[in-house]
Amino acid sequence: MLRQRLVLIVVCLLGLLVVAGLAWRANTLGRQPAAAVGGPFQLVDQNGTPTTEKVLKGKWSAVFFGFTYCPDVCPGTLQGLAAATEQLGPKAKDLQIVFISIDPERDTPAQMKAYLSADYVPKSTIGLTGTQAQVDAAAKAYKVYYAKVGTGPGYTMDHSTAIYLMDPKGRFKTVIPYNQPPADIAARIKAAMAG
Ligand code: NI
């Protein structure tokens, strides 16, 4: 009888250990993607200035990848972020939009500058491009998918649509899904800023 009880207790303790272990593992794995998004990059901005991940320091950054010839997703994302920025009120100055090209073949710094000169685009917006290798490395760091579609001058690009919100230390904070209303984007950014 005593022996049976002891066995039962040992079995229960082992069970608890397994549950605790699984919980710890799930927690660790759950956190992993957060830490794994972002990292070092070497690109060039729309003024031709070499730029690294240090550009993310000191401000909140809404980072997204795309290309200036994008017919809908990128202009829509940029418009949504611009409208959301206006809704941040005084906090708007704490946010910058960072648009990273995955089409360096066509997106020269000059092309990027022309693209971002539209009236609705906040002046603090940063457009980044680079060599194919630099762009590949940046996209890899941010777990961004993209692929060339078609051939000849009229080719287009398939690409991930998520916006990554990075904190003023350049650390990944949250993902803002594609096509959210500006008010929702602003609410998510405000919530992140509030901690
Ligand atoms: Ni696009």
Each of the 195 residues of the chain gets a pLDDT tens digit; together they read 566 666 666 665 556 555 565 555 555 554 544 458 999 999 999 999 999 999 999 999 999 999 999 999 999 999 999 999 999 999 999 999 999 999 999 999 999 999 999 999 999 999 999 999 999 999 999 999 999 999 998 999 999 999 999 999 999 999 999 999 999 999 999 999 998
Distance of alpha carbon 175 from alpha carbon 86, whole angstroms: 20
Has this prediction a pTM greater than 0.75?
Answer: yes
Q: What is the distance, to the nearest Å, from the Cα of residue 10 to the centroid of all Cα atoms in its chain?
A: 47
Closest CA to 139 of 128, 149, 150: 128
Residue 84 vs residues 16, 21, 193: alpha-carbon distances, Å: 47, 42, 14
Cα(163) to centroid of ligand 1, in Å? 12
Cα(30) to centroid of ligand 1, in Å? 28
Cα(29) to centroid of ligand 1, in Å? 30
Distance of alpha carbon 145 from alpha carbon 158, whole angstroms: 8
Cα(11) to centroid of ligand 1, in Å? 56
CB 170 within 8 A of CB 57: yes
Cα(161) to centroid of ligand 1, in Å? 7
CB 66 within 8 A of CB 138: no
Coarse DSSP helix, strand, coil percentages of the chain, rounded to the nearest 5 percent: 45, 20, 30
- Angle, nearest 10°, between helix axes 182-194 and 73-86? 60
